């Protein structure tokens, strides 16, 4: 994933949890580009993700989340 508008290293050091949530949102919304989502992170932060409701519903179905 390439994001030219965010200093990812600085963001990761200053707030690791927000960085992880942001990165998951970016990967889900804009494509994985050969990367894989970490299942444990996805489950941990699923309810905090700000993504399209239909994508969230589909992911919830795949994860068997309620």
**11-58 confidence digits (pLDDT tens):** 999 999 999 999 999 999 888 888 899 999 999 999 999 999 999 999
DSSP string, 1-66: ---TTS-HHHHHHH-HHHHHHHHHHHHHHH--TT----HHHHHHHGGG----HHHHHHHHHHHT--
More confident residue, 6 or 66: 6
Quote the pTM value: 0.82
């Amino acid at each position: 994933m390439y994001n030219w508008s965010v200093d990812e290293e600085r963001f990761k050091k200053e707030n690791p949890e927000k960085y992880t949530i942001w990165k998951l949102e970016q990967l889900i919304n804009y494509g994985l580009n050969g990367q894989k989502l970490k299942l444990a992170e996805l489950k941990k932060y699923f309810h905090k993700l700000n993504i399209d409701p239909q994508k969230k519903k589909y992911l919830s179905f795949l994860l068997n989340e309620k």
